[in-house]
Amino acid sequence: MADSRFKGAFTATITPMSDGKVDEKALEKFVEWQIAQGIHGLVPCGTTGESPTLSHAEDKRVTEITIAVAGGRVPVVAGTGSNSTEEAIELTRAAKENGADAAMLVCPYYNKPTQEMMVRHFEAVASAVDIPILIYNVPGRTAVDMTPETMGRLAKVDNIIGVKDASNDVVRPYRTREQCGADFVNLSGEDGTQLAFRIADGHGVISVTANVAPALVSQLHEACHKDDYTAAKRIQERLMPLHDALFCETNPAPVKYAASLLGLCKSDLRLPMSEISDGAKRQVEAAMRSAGILN
């Protein structure tokens, strides 16, 4: 059976910033709010957490704070990926030392590794650090797509337990299950495909939308746990305009603006990311009102 800790709605958390620095107080309050809203788990320092522009010290600190505030109430999956295997091992070791429940590692970006090269990368991290590992497959960001067959090879590694799949392919969970087995944790990495993944016996989502709508995203997956797909469909339909709006410009700029409208943090980003356009702001605000999360 797939590890029950890694099922349901996980938030790919933003990293609050102010005046060019990580806003630790806002981060602490944000994590507390997420848990109070019923989220099932947290994933700091992924793409949505602006990991490409965090220093290693900041990356480790954001993870440390998230774990400390969560206090074991929900699992924390630390984003520790890099296009350098050596750096990925360093970040993964730090995550384990800080008490992360698992690590999530993106497929090496920019290098454009072959399938064989990706296998060697993930095997090297898994052998160096004894912590549960989720592969993060996001072809739109990395320019490489890990195939289900390659995942099947990696599923044989004891501590590689699952995948966050942001391929936006609703057929993918069936093929992953065929190659990796039912015990391999299969999480959607796209809010728009999360219900399709659950119908295909996927286990949950690592969500951008849950940054600002954690209660609704959690309720969607709780309905799926009960096989109440009619209720889950209603929630997904309510959230779809928001899912779309949060990607109207490059993530995480829209979701940071959305979070600022809720008073969760400033909309500050670190270059090369910058504030969204006025038209995008109107789209985000309208979608939040439509979803009923902004009065």
Catalytic residue set:
136, 164
Q: Which residues make beta-bridge pairs with 22?
A: 17
> Which residues share a beta bridge with 42?
11, 76
- Give the DSSP letter of residue 130: -
Matching residue, tokens 């910058």: 274
- The angle subtended at Cα 100 by Cα 81 and Cα 266, nearest 5°, is 70
Hunting for tokens 């480790």 — which residue is that? 60
**Other C-beta atoms within 10 Å of 237: how many?**
10
Taking the C-alpha atoms of residue 79 and residue 100, their distance in angstroms, rounded to an integer, is 10
Q: Any idea what DSSP says for residue 76?
A: B
> Residue 161: what are its φ and ψ, rounded to 5°?
-105, -10
Residues 6+ apart with CB under 8 A from 68: none
Q: Which residues pair with 187 in a beta bridge?
A: 164, 204
Q: Identify which of 77, 93, 66 has the alpha carbon closest to the alpha carbon of residue 10.
A: 77
Q: Could you give the angle at which helices 214-225 and 229-245 cross, rounded to 10 degrees? A: 150
Q: Are 124 and 85 in contact (CB under 8 A)?
A: yes
